[in-house]
Amino acid sequence: MYIALSLLFFLKAIVAECNGGSELCQRTYDNITHLVTHNSYALTPQMGATQDHSILDQLNDGVRGIKLSAVPSSTDPSVIQLCHTYCAVLDAGPASDTLSMISGWLKENPKEVVTIMWNNLYNMKPAQFLSAYEQSGIMPYVYTHPNPTEAWPSLQAMIDSNQRLVNFVDVEADVGQVPWLMDQFSQVFETPYENTETFNCNIDRISQDLDPKHMMYVLNHFLYGTFEMGTIKIHMPLKDKAEVANGRASLDEHVLNCSDVFQKKPNFVEVDFYSIGQSLSVVAELNGVSTQQLTPKTDVKTDHAVLVHKNGLLPTDHVLIDNSLSKGVCLRPNLQNNFKKL
């Protein structure tokens, strides 16, 4: 009897873990760092690939943020296809197929919270996203946030309600039509994504007149090259630099710099080729799951640090804030752990 009760308690303790650790259960969604894979669907050996492993493998490995690109299908423009800018470059099939796979994973992993961030490259409408979600069977897991100023729930609350899928889109959000598909840049800003050699902590893409101090943010930490098709230039990933870009030195320094500037650690760390380098362990350390948690310094002031460019922009248009405390992070193969500096 005693052994049976002990085993039951042990199994319950395992089940109670949230996104990799029971320490995270009572923390709110916006107080956790989520590893995001850039263009999660774009798999090798296809041209334009940004990941080596399937989305299913990504989720199994600990990735909790999926970045997808919405492109109209060539056979039916009302249907959302997953493509890398152009389907001629990389076509990962209908969005509903990938959503169905994620739905199955959520069913098999009832203690996990996942985020999908959509790049809406061709201004697909909310109703088109809704159709893909309904077709996939993923709707029972969708989380609806009341409004941008509302406090985020804990992971445990989201798990208890079974609303464990958070969805953002960069343009064409309309919560009046589809309440769960949120305007990303009203809730989350990003650091620049067009990085070729260095990373910084400028604020890139934020809705007009919002204070970044009260928002979550994405740390974009991947490198681009350029591929030309006639007059068309397409950003291409640089896999040969992934070992260094995703190395501890580069990631740690970028995280530390932005944590200093924004007075908070990143909510999302977005990378290419997550399986190369140390991105998983860096995010685990940020969350305090298995190693020392990064704690931002308290002596850095940011009130004076921004010059905002947003003349007459619509809420989801591109906005850049040049941050005077932002330091460029050079790409260099140094594997020193810098977390202890904070």
> What's this model's pTM, rounded to 2 decimal places?
0.82
How do residues 210-254 score in pLDDT, each as one tens digit? 888 989 999 999 988 777 777 777 777 889 889 999 999 999 999
Domains and CATH numbers, the chain: 2-239+268-276 (3.20.20)
Judged against a pLDDT cut of 80, whether residue 293 lies above it is answered with no
Percentage of the chain lying above the pLDDT 90 cut: 63
What's the average model confidence in pLDDT over 24-45?
96
CA angle 336, 62, 168 (to 5 degrees): 105
Judged against a pLDDT cut of 90, whether residue 138 lies above it is answered with yes
Q: Which residues pair with 330 in a beta bridge?
A: 198
Cα separation, 190 vs 203, whole angstroms? 6
Burial class (CB in 10 A: 0-12, 13-18, 19+), 301: exposed
How do residues 62-110 score in pLDDT, each as one tens digit? 999 999 999 999 999 999 999 988 888 888 999 999 999 999 999 999 9
pLDDT at 236: 76
